[in-house]
Structure formats: C-alpha cells, structure tokens
Structure 1
Amino acid sequence: MELGKTAVVLGGSAAGLCTAGALAPYFDQVLVLERDVLPAEAEHRRGVPQSKHPHFLLNSGRRAIGELFPGFEDDLIAAGGLHLMPSMDAAYLDGEGWSARKRGAMTMIYGSRILIERVLRDEVRALGNVVIREGVSVNGLTVQGGGTRDGAVTGVDFSTYTGDEHVDADFVVDAMGRGSSVGSWLVAAGWPEPEVRTLDAKVTYTSRWYELPSPAERPASWWWQHLVIMPTPDKGEHPAEHEFLVNFFPIEGNRVIACMGSWGIEMPRTTDAFVESARRVRTPLFAAAMDQSTPTSEVHLTRSTGNKWRRYDRWATPPKGLVFVGDSICAFNPFYGQGISSAAMSALLLREHLSRARQLDAGFCSRFLAAQRKELTVPWSLAMARDQGYECAVGTEQVPEWRRRILAAVSGPAFSLIVGAAREYEVVDEHFAKVFNLDESLRDMMTNPRVLAALVRYRIRTALGRHRVPFGFDPQAEPPGTDYSPADANRAASPAAAR
C-alpha cells in the first residue's frame, strides 16, 4: 500500500541506504540526498571518516539488512566479505592468556565499512523508484505549525553546484549522523529543545591498513584470521599499551586493519609511533604480524566516540512526517560495533510500522519513536555498562563515584567470568552471542536461571581447578591452534553429520 508520493532520506551512508530500502515499497519515489559524491567502488570518502577503522556487522544487523535487501549477505560474501566463526578463526587474548580454540554459537561476516556500503549502494540502485542525488547540501526543512499538535515537516531545502532547490515531501528521515542539524532546525521552528543523554568515556582509537602475505608465505602457526587482545587485568606496573584493546581485523582482498584503542590514554598519531606502540602491547604476535605484512595506509585516528541519545521520543508532539535513524538519534561508542546494526534494525522497524499504517499522522511518528526507544535501549545499556566504569567518562549519564568504582571493579572480572563460562557451557555461549549481537539484553541474560546456574557451576569448578576447556595460554607464545571443541560439536558441524 502506497502511503505517499515522495519520501526523502537525508544522508546516503549505511543508515540512509537501509532506510531507502525500507521506504521503497510505500512511496512513488524515494529521494536520497547525500553530501558526498559517491564512489563506484569500495573507496573511502570524506563523509565517513570512521570507514578507516574496523566495523563489525552484528548478526542482528545482518538479518535486518537481509530482510530489507534479500540476498545481501551472499552479495557481500561474493564481493569479498569473509564468513567466519570467531571462536575458531580468531586468536583471543583475555585475562592472563590466550583462550582455547573451539566451535561456538556465533558466526560473523568480516569486511570493511567501505565494502559494506558499496554493496548496500548496489542494492539500493537496483530499486526502480529510489534516486540518489550526490553532492547535495541539505540547508533546512519546511514546516507548518511548528511545535503544535498539527506540526509537520512538509519538505526539504537543499543546494547543489547548480543552485538552490526544494522538494515537497510526504515523509522525511534524518540519517545525517552525529552532526545532523535537524534538531536545531526543529527547535528554531517551534519544537522544544530535546533532552540529550550523553556519556563520553574519552575513547580514542588509531588504525592502519595492511596487505597480508599470501597464504603460501604465511607462517605455519597462522591458523587464525583475526587477532583480539583485550586490556590487561593486571593492576600493577605495566606499559600503557597493556591497557589497549587491539584488533588485527581481517577484511576483503587479503587485507587487515591493525587497530589499537583505549579509554582516556593518548594514542599514537604517526606511523613510527604506531609501530613502536604495537611492540609494547601485551603479546609480541601483534607487532610480528604487522612486520610480516605490507602497510598500505597512513595512521588514522578518531576521537569522536561519545555515546549520545537525542530523546525525540519524549516530545509530547513530535512533528508529523519525520523520523530519525542511526547516529542522528542515537550514536554509540564505536568500540562496541553497534552502529550499523542498530541503524539497520531501526530501518527494518520503520518498514514494519509502514506496513501497518493507514496514514502518516502524528500518531504514526509517536508510535515509531516509542518502539524505536525500546529497541535502542538494548545497545545503549550495553555501552553504559562498560563506559560508566571509567574515571575519565563525562556526560549526563556519569554515575556517582561510589557506583563508578563498583562498576570498574566488577565489569572486567564479570566479563571474563562470562567468557570463561561460555567456553564450557553451551547455554552461556548461546546467550552471550545473543547479547553481543543485540538479540538479547544483558539484563535478560543475567536473570536467566540456566545461565546463572552455569555461571555458578563454572565458578565452583574454577575454584577446584577442574576445567573442561583449557585457557590462559602464555601470551608471549603463539596461540594454540588445537581444536578443543567437544567431539559431538565437531561431529555435528561435519559435512558427514549434515547428510
């Protein structure tokens, strides 16, 4: 059922592209307005500086994009994306040492942000009623009855290299990201200043791209494709780099992104400083892997990492004909890899609401904002659970010092407890995978009786030194390539068992 003649999406990044797919069945035309001139291939562009860092496409995001664009996952893999099982394909250093390699509940598709967006652009351009206009600056919105019960957004003013233009719109979606001016335009038109919740844990991360040696040239010990080095639990004296969260992150084209990040620590900005810092992280494998690979970029550093939620859902009279998707409404600390997946889930939620709508009145926008609030609460709570424990964190969600100290003291050990129990108990592994992929809240997981029972059993077995799966392998040595999966898990995963 068509709900209008023209829908306009402000922004052509991942959030805007997913939204265009959601809108296409319900409008005669969907117009995407994008500031950059978009590359034909997977290339960096000015409007997405974070594309130079690793991006996780969580399973919830994979599913959402797949529902919006059937075949997307196959297309992404055909374009070079890597379908991996992290517990088998990643060497993971947590706690005192390397974790064991074994089959797990979670798989992921690895690829660069620029590849994900290129495949998304191809999907959107295949839709006959979607037009992407590039090199466009959005200058404002046309509204009527600003701030009143009948207030509505009715069009968009923009400019191109040929001059100023205007388009009347039945529906507008703000997907312009963290720096969106839409909120300011609405306030100027009569709507109240929205409440904004913030927490900036002073996360800085720095990345450099490398080409891997060919498979024939790689060391025999490189069974892994992804390296993950978690911050040290050691409270004694150690180099600052031991506090880094480190990734040697595989992407398409036999390449990796070497990335180091931290909470509140100055990060290297030059190539020389980057290499020297890499040599001081808590395993020599990271620097050794860099040494055996060929650098293909300079060092890229990002500081814009604060959590920010514009609470448009709390407006008594939100504007008719306008909703928000992606970072324009809720931006997360990028360390947690929630951005693209959260935006895709909002776009899918929008499509579901459009499919049930008879008209796009103020009630539609209120209902969507309320449902979106419930969905955003899951990733927001996960980000708060970690970032509120840092002394350097500032913002409206900063907690009292006594509470911060408790969070700082328990969050690391609690995380290690869950990761350890997931090695040995399938129920913890399954639910932890759901939480990581935004399919379940942390609260729901930690109140599940079966999960709690498994955590208690694991803690008792740890105290008795009775582990089913070894862990804590020497971080100064190569991570063990032995498959410690239970025999039944290997049989279940084998081609013979599948027949």
Structure 2
Amino acid sequence: MQGRTAVVLGGSVAGLCTAGVLAGHFDEVIVLERDLLPADAEHRRGVPQSKHPHFLLNSGRRAIGEIFPGFEESLIAAGGMKLMPSMDAAYCEDDGWAPRKSGSMTMVYSSRVLIERVIRDKVRAVQNIEVREGITVTGLRSHDGGTTHGRVEGVELRTAEGEEQYVAADLVVDCQGRGSSAIDWLAAAGWTAPEENTLDAKVTYTSRWYDLPPVDERPASWWWKHLVITPTQDTGDHPEEHEFLSNFFPIEGDRAIVCMGSWGIEMPRKVDTFEASVDRVRATAFGDAMRACTPTSEVHLTRSTGNKWRRFDLLDVPPIGLLTIGDSICAFNPFYAQGMSSAARSALILKEMLASGQALDLAFHEDFLARQKESLDVPWMLAMARDQAYDFATGTETVAPWRRKLVARFSWPIFNAINAASREDPYVEQSFAEVFNLDKSLKQMMRDPRFWFGIVRYRIREKLGRTVVPAGFDQRQDPPGTDWSDPANPVEHAGSTSAPTGALQ
C-alpha cells in the first residue's frame, strides 16, 4: 500500500476511474462530489455536457476496461450498442455520401449518463471506495508551498448541511473539471501557477433528444444507426447550416441525439429555429430523420468548448501530494471526443506507476507528469490541427496568418483524401483508426511513408478511373445501403434508393 487515505475531487468519469485505480493501493479512497448522484442514468448539474453526444474512443474503452474489468460488457448489457461505424453509420462527406463497407474499427454507442452510471455501479462494488455526495471542496491544506519539500496534506470541505470539515490525505487527485479552483489554492499556498496553453475556436453546439419510431414503422432506407454530415468545403454562397458538423447519434433505449455544431457561427437554441436549421443541413436525410422521431427534450446549447492545457509538467517544483486528471489539467474541444478517453488514459498511467511500489515523492510526481504529458500530446495535436485554422480563434496557440490559411485550406481536403484512400487500402484505414482512437499520434502517421504512399496511389487511381469502390452518392437522396466490403460482389440493401454505382456528383 502507498498510504492510508487517497482523496479524489470530483465524481465524474475522470474521478471514478481514478478512484478505481487508487483503491488497489490505499486503505481507503474518498471521492468528494458536489452533486447528489442519481441511481440511474440521469443528467445532473455538474455535467451539463451530458446532454450532447459522447464518443468513448477505443483507447479509452480499453483503459476503463482495465480499471474496471467487465465495463464494456456491462455497458452493452445496460443498452449500449457495439457497432462498426463504417457499416452502421452513413457519412456525408464533401462530395456526397460515402460508400458503406466493413472496417477495422468498432465503437460502443451510448449516452454520457449511461457511461457514468455503469462506472458508478463498478465503483460502488469496491469496498474501500467511499463516495461522499453534496460536498463542496473549499481548499487544500499544505505546508512549505513552492519548495522541494512542499506537500499537499489534505482537503478542506463543506457538507450539504454547511458543516466545515477537513480530510487528511496521503494523495489528492483533482478531477473537478474545467472549473477547478486547485490552481488558485496552490498559488495562495506559495506554488507557482502553471502556464496555460489555450486555443478557443469559438465552437458552439446544440442538441435535442428524440425517441426513434418503432422498428416496424421505420423507413426501409434506415439501414444506418448513425448519420454524420461534415461541413461543406464549397466557397460559394450557401446556407450557414452547410458549415455545420451534424450528427444523428444513436443511444440506448431506441433514442437518438440530434446535434449540430460549428466553428464561429451562432447556433439555434429554441425549438423552432433548431428544427428549421436541421432542415437546412445539406443532406436532406438529416431533416427527414428528425421529423420521423418524437422529441423528448428542449434544445441544449453549449459554448464552453475551448482547448486548455494547464502545464503542471513545466513547473520547476510541482506540488507533492497532488495530481490532476481529466479536464482539470487538459480540456479539449468536445467536437473531437477526446475528453473521457484522455482522462481514462491518465488514470491508467497512474495505475501502472502505483503498481511499481514507488514512494509518493517528488520523483514520482515528476515522472507521472512527464508520462501524462506524453499521453496528452496525442489528443492535443489532433485538436490543434483543426482549430488553428480559424482567424477568429483566440489563445496562446494561435498561429501566423500564412500557417492558418494553410490549415484552413488543406485540413478538410486531407481528411477527405484519407477517408477515400481508406476504402481501398487497409493500411491507410488502420493507421487513421489508430490516430482517431489515440493509439497513435498524428505525428507518427504524418511521418509514415507507407501511409502517404497509400494516399498518393489512391489519387492516381482516381485520376485514371481505376478505383473499385464508388463514392460521392447524391446528398439529396437517402444514404445508399449497398455493402462494398467485397467490391467485386457488392450486396445491395433492400431499402436503398441509389443504384450500386451511385449517383455520382
């Protein structure tokens, strides 16, 4: 055992995963959560983003499964759906609907609230984890702040009844999210505040929840479970909704979240303007799908989407006795679905380090921060690769105008080229899936000559008319359901309205 007591600040995904890790190395683990946690999969005040779609990337899925064995099976048993996006999702790219075919990547689809409920159930089964609800953390108690001997000793708190208390701890882990006050408490105790890397691309997204129609009443063309419409690259006049990244996102209980988001555009927040915007999204199937469903919520809008990395790894003297995991240290633009998985990956790093039996001294904290930095570099680079393209973006990570123009000009075309090559080159498909799921860095992929060979070869074949999987199906029609997994023997879906060769644009 590394100590008697560990305290986790926050009972969301990051906090629960961290508690699961700590339970194997401390006599008691105390989770302090401000909200009263629901027994079932319900929204709560401390997680307003739960009303929007959440992807659990494969690296995060595996990390949570390593912390809580059986997590994926429990999530599926509770209603989560294990799907293959290339077969079960319809993607509308710049030139129209992409072809449907099998791929290497699977995902488990569910709501954020179900993911949390399943993890909470796992935590509640661990005898030495205590979750205290209705708790407001008011400060950290420490000594010798800012020196090599400085250490966080415990947590000051206030109960729901207003009683002030103190909990001594051998280790405190801050998982309070974007709004964490830990830096202020540390600064007041003598530590230097860490630098912050920031980039806010003014992303706003808006969502509404729907019940799907009964299975026997759904259109025959609904082979898909998930609809994705990417922003247009047309530089001419078009409705601003063509700039949206739009999702018809399936969740448990025969429900879906209709979500639209954009960079720098004011998004609808009322029912009438939301529905009108859905109908102006460039793929007509998106509006048709919404109207076939029954709304069950109001419209939910979120603007708190900036990227922020608090660089504890750059401190000359990090605070001993305190670690930071999740949005408390690195918050991402939610468009990229990296938050939960990045937090779980950090918790897994802590698990590996605690298993070594190393003392919780300065060397331990410096080593953890270095390894965490290496892990966070992967999603951070992906977020920067797109968000640096906008001239209205603000923060420390904005780039020179010439570089911004290059990113704006080529990021979506490169993304489309990768997707196109992936249809006929398993190596390209696997490489991109690894980057998307945070198993490989963007830098590694960009330096891979075999990857670029696959892109160039596909483009040459395309120019010569020698590609074998058709693409660019008319976005004004339903997504074609033909399965092109074997291009020599395509299998047409009974409900498809497009010819197997596609309505090429």
Name the TM-score class by shorter chain: over 0.9
Q: Is the 8 A contact 1:33 1:136 kept in 2?
A: yes
1:64 Cα deviation after fit:
0.1
Residue 221 of structure 2 aligns to a residue whose secondary structure is coil
1:488 Cα deviation after fit:
9.8
1:453 Cα deviation after fit:
1.0
Q: Between 281-290 and 35-44, report the one with greater CA deviation.
A: 281-290
Evaluate the alpha carbon distance shift between residue 9 and residue 462 of structure 1 in structure 2; reply closer, same or farther with a 3 A threshold: same
Number of aligned positions between the proteins = 490
Distance 1:391 1:105 in 2: 36
Identity of aligned residues (%): 64
Counterpart residue number, 1:68: 67
Deviations 1:307-343 (A, max 9, x none): 0000011111111111000000000000000000000
2:48 maps to 1:49: yes
Residue 424 of structure 1 aligns to a residue whose secondary structure is coil
Distance 2:412 2:361 in 1: 46
Deviations 1:144-201 (A, max 9, x none): 1100000000000001123011010000000000000001100111011210000000
Residue 414 of structure 1 aligns to a residue whose secondary structure is helix
1:229 Cα deviation after fit:
0.2
Distance 2:275 2:449 in 1: 46
For normalisation by structure 2, the TM-score amounts to 0.96
2:180 maps to 1:180: yes
Distance 1:266 1:290 in 2: 21
Structure 1 unpaired stretches of 5+: 492-499
Counterpart residue number, 2:200: 200
Distance 2:181 2:213 in 1: 45
Deviations 1:418-442 (A, max 9, x none): 1111111000000110000000011
Q: Is the 8 A contact 1:155 1:166 kept in 2?
A: yes
Q: Is the 8 A contact 2:484 2:490 kept in 1?
A: no
Counterpart residue number, 1:290: 290
Match of 2:172, as an amino acid? V
Counterpart residue number, 1:497: none
Evaluate the alpha carbon distance shift between residue 418 and residue 487 of structure 1 in structure 2; reply closer, same or farther with a 3 A threshold: closer
1:356 Cα deviation after fit:
0.9
2:473 maps to 1:448: no
Residue 471 of structure 1 aligns to a residue whose secondary structure is coil
Q: Is the 8 A contact 1:36 1:136 kept in 2?
A: yes
Counterpart residue number, 1:9: 8
Evaluate the alpha carbon distance shift between residue 392 and residue 220 of structure 1 in structure 2; reply closer, same or farther with a 3 A threshold: same
2:422 maps to 1:425: no
Residue 478 of structure 1 aligns to a residue whose secondary structure is coil
Distance 1:332 1:59 in 2: 17
For normalisation by structure 1, the TM-score amounts to 0.97
1:486 Cα deviation after fit:
2.1
Q: Is the 8 A contact 1:95 1:416 kept in 2?
A: yes
Counterpart residue number, 1:21: 20
1:407 Cα deviation after fit:
0.8
Q: Between 156-165 and 110-119, report the one with greater CA deviation.
A: 156-165
Distance 2:211 2:132 in 1: 34
1:277 Cα deviation after fit:
0.4
Q: Is the 8 A contact 1:85 1:106 kept in 2?
A: yes
Q: Is the 8 A contact 1:7 1:169 kept in 2?
A: yes
Q: Is the 8 A contact 2:358 2:364 kept in 1?
A: no
Q: Is the 8 A contact 1:96 1:233 kept in 2?
A: no
Residue 5 of structure 1 aligns to a residue whose secondary structure is strand
Counterpart residue number, 1:411: 411
Evaluate the alpha carbon distance shift between residue 126 and residue 236 of structure 1 in structure 2; reply closer, same or farther with a 3 A threshold: same
Q: Is the 8 A contact 2:138 2:156 kept in 1?
A: yes
Listed as ranges, the matches of 1:456-467 within 5 Å are: 456-467=456-467
Match of 2:383, as an amino acid? A
Distance 1:170 1:94 in 2: 51
Distance 1:261 1:347 in 2: 30
Residue 70 of structure 1 aligns to a residue whose secondary structure is coil
Counterpart residue number, 1:260: 260
Structure 2 unpaired stretches of 5+: 492-505
Deviations 1:217-251 (A, max 9, x none): 10000000000000011111100000000000000
Counterpart residue number, 2:356: 356
Deviations 1:368-415 (A, max 9, x none): 001000000000000000000112211000001111001111111111
Distance 2:272 2:304 in 1: 23
Match of 2:83, as an amino acid? L
Residue 479 of structure 1 aligns to a residue whose secondary structure is coil
Q: Is the 8 A contact 1:174 1:182 kept in 2?
A: yes
Runs of 4+ aligned structure 1 residues displaced above 4 Å come to 487-491
Q: Is the 8 A contact 2:469 2:487 kept in 1?
A: no
Residue 423 of structure 2 aligns to a residue whose secondary structure is helix
Distance 1:391 1:253 in 2: 41
Q: Is the 8 A contact 1:61 1:341 kept in 2?
A: yes
Q: Is the 8 A contact 2:482 2:490 kept in 1?
A: no
Residue 276 of structure 2 aligns to a residue whose secondary structure is helix
Distance 1:443 1:231 in 2: 24
Counterpart residue number, 2:502: none
Distance 1:453 1:251 in 2: 38
